[in-house]
Amino acid sequence: MRKAAIALLSAAALTATACGGGADQGAPAPTPGTTGTTTAPRTTAPPTETATETETRTETRTETRTETRTTTRPGGPGTPRPQECQVTENWTLRPDVEQGRSAQPIFQVRAGRHDCYDRVVFDIRGRAATGFDVRYVPRVNAEGSGKPIPVAGDAALRVVVRSPAQGTGGSGRAPLATTGEHFFPENALADWGALRSVRYAGSFENQTTFALGARAKLPMRAFTMVDQERGVRMVVVDIAHHAN
């Protein structure tokens, strides 16, 4: 396990308009409050507040719903979504998939805390579009070997990015990670609203798999966007703090 660097960023560095497959939809701009951002080592600098972000998918369905459930365990799976967290209202438990593939490598993994959700960002060199497959699974298996990659928390979220990891295919660059490696110490994520683990599950035939541990099986969304200033494509996975 490597020691992660901790940096405080404004919400603009990791905030984007929602775009998801399946039942996901476009949503208002996410709640701007971000209490902290963690960046894995062996990376370049995170995007600045002035980065221009362009999303690749948009949907416009809206829905109004009122919830009255209560719980004696704040933050537990049965906790109703706060009124200020309407941004997560139409996120899903179903798989979120986008077609596409890129030969450009994933070179950095970042994570950030927001008021209503936790975010993991996978940075890919270049602006070329790529695809992904994000879904809850009983367990995540490593690429190639099939070895289980256990995660902290009560739910495992498998993230497959249709791009190779840095250091594969004889690129000459330092490898992104080794199979099973933690990008962030689990104790550093223990008090986050949803995220509990981010582990590397390998890269094979130009696709790379990650194992995310979540506190519970909570609504999520996935989408891609471009940082035009840095020339970087980003695959973004958000996990809500509360059930819908």
Task: Pick 173 or 75 by higher pLDDT.
Answer: 173
The answer to whether residues 223 and 130 touch, using CB atoms and an 8 Å cutoff, is no
Average pLDDT over residues 77-104: 87
Structure tokens given for 128: 């070329």
Name the β-bridge partners of 238.
Answer: 119, 221
Name the β-bridge partners of 225.
Answer: 55, 234
Task: Pick 61 or 211 by higher pLDDT.
Answer: 211
Of the candidates 59, 96, 32, 139, the residue with the CA atom closest to the CA atom of residue 237: 96
Confidence of residue 156 (pLDDT cuts 50, 70, 90): very high
Cβ neighbours for 102, distance < 8 A, ≥ 6 positions apart: 124, 126, 128, 129, 130, 162, 163, 233
Structure tokens given for 78: 């049965």
- Count the domains in the chain: 1
Is there a domain that residue 82 lies in? Answer: no
Going from the C-alpha of 106 to that of each of 58, 59, 125, 160, 171, the distances in angstroms are 24, 27, 7, 12, 12
Is there a domain that residue 69 lies in? Answer: no
d(CA 77, CA 17): 25
The answer to whether residues 125 and 105 touch, using CB atoms and an 8 Å cutoff, is yes
Q: Is the pLDDT of residue 28 over 50?
A: no
Can you count the helices (H) and strands (E) in the chain? 1, 14
47-63: pLDDT as tens digits: 433 343 434 443 333 33
Is there a domain that residue 167 lies in? Answer: yes
Task: Pick 13 or 61 by higher pLDDT.
Answer: 13
Total-model pTM: 0.71
How would you classify residue 167: left for phi > 0, otherwise alpha for psi between -120 and 50, otherwise beta?
A: left
Is there a domain that residue 32 lies in? Answer: yes
Is there a domain that residue 78 lies in? Answer: no
Is there a domain that residue 214 lies in? Answer: yes
Q: How many CB atoms lie within 10 A of CB 126?
A: 15
Range of the domain at 113: 5-45+96-240
Is there a domain that residue 79 lies in? Answer: no
Is there a domain that residue 217 lies in? Answer: yes
Q: Is the pLDDT of residue 225 over 70?
A: yes
Q: For residue 131, give the CATH number of its domain.
A: 2.60.40.3500
pLDDT of 83 reads 76
179-198: pLDDT as tens digits: 999 999 999 999 999 999 99
